[in-house]
Structure 1
Amino acid sequence: MNSAKPPVVGITARTVPVTLQGTDMVVSLSLQSHVDFLAAAGCVPVVLPVRPGVEQLLGQVQGLLVPGGPDLDPALYGQERHPLTRVASTDLDRAELALIGAALTDGLPLLAICRGMQLLNVRCGGTLHQHLPEVTGDDGHRPQGAGFEFGRHVLDLEPASRIARVFGEDTPKTACHHHQAVDRVGEGLTATARTSDGVVEVVEAAGHPFAVGVQWEAGQTEDDRLHRALADAARRR
């Protein structure tokens, strides 16, 4: 009998206003697919409220998922704020940067999605394009429509990279919804996948057991391979 305990994976929460039973309130929550995918992969997912000092909890988990969310404060990477940059909370930025820094230092398996990838890049000293259409000339990475629409892009993967091993011969068409992206890649990171217009869609930390950032909305499609890869790394932890 295998008596090993399942790995615990922390998911950083997003704080949003909601109306429940006619009452307005603010809640901390996670995308349900992140919870479901990690649970199906044999993990115990836990939602981590993002408060100062939350990085002290990392000793209790074997993996960390940092999901999408609002734009980062560009002051964190030495830029003035673009008119279309929407910053929710500098406290949130600093707390998640501390979490990612601790995960990098401790070798904790890390999957950073969308905003999470941008945080990873900035934590390593990189910068961001604050409004991608000014770089690419179109809104293909965040289509403008009546609802929440995805841009679809086929990735060009670096051979022998971790992301190439995750997807093998079946490279997905990404589901993108971002108006910002990596500009200068941070120290110790390698860009291992781009779209045909040159936008960085994956970064990986060199010398780390598993620290992968993806720019697309992983978790918003049925493809759970990244979550399973995080779960495998957490088990090895």
Structure 2
Amino acid sequence: MARGISIPVSFSSKATAQPKVQCAAITRPQEEPSSDAVCGIAVQHRQTTDVFDRYCYPFLYPVVFNGDMEIRPCTDDDLAILSSRWKVLGGVHESHHSGQLAGDTTYLVAWRDGEPLGSGVVQWGGCIGPNAREAFPRAVEINHLQVRDEYRSQGVGTALIAAAEQLIGREGMAQAAVGVADDNPRAERLYLGLGYRRTGIVDVSEYSWVSDDGTVQQASERDQLLVKDLA
């Protein structure tokens, strides 16, 4: 799915509890870090310093979930690993990374022992759907959530959501939003169990996706908006 907000239906309902988060103390380094240390953003260029300050410091160090899972913004080095170990047609990883470099999004990737498990995007510009954006102009949307088949039902999706919410909350934003396709009731149940609520707001999106044989397909999706108050 283009928006990727429909969580795979194989997520375990028993993983609805918010995972515990263990964070290292974060302090501003005395010297500007390398571009790789700050999510691939070239902070040596002064015009990008504000992007570094706003979106990268909260995750300068990995956030650890359940003792063995790390969730962090995608770096240049991470992108090379993703392209090799988790091949997704259509340049999805590269597209999300580019959005992060532009300061529009944060592309979060979950890792365990150097292996990518899943990913999600924090959309700093707000909700994508026009109806959702009008109804909840201050909400930050979490979308493009996906987990590799072999790592589903292990709490990866729940951990990604929690990490995104933490990042949004650290920015002082009061609401997180997700869109759920009508044909994915199990995803809706998961979100409701994590504290999201129905709003009655619906948007229909049209998008392109690349099939396994490399052809571009067209589709549309009707999404229900769910929101969660973070403060």
Normalization by structure 2: what TM-score? 0.31
Decide which structure has greater strand share.
2
Q: TM-score, normalised by structure 1?
A: 0.30
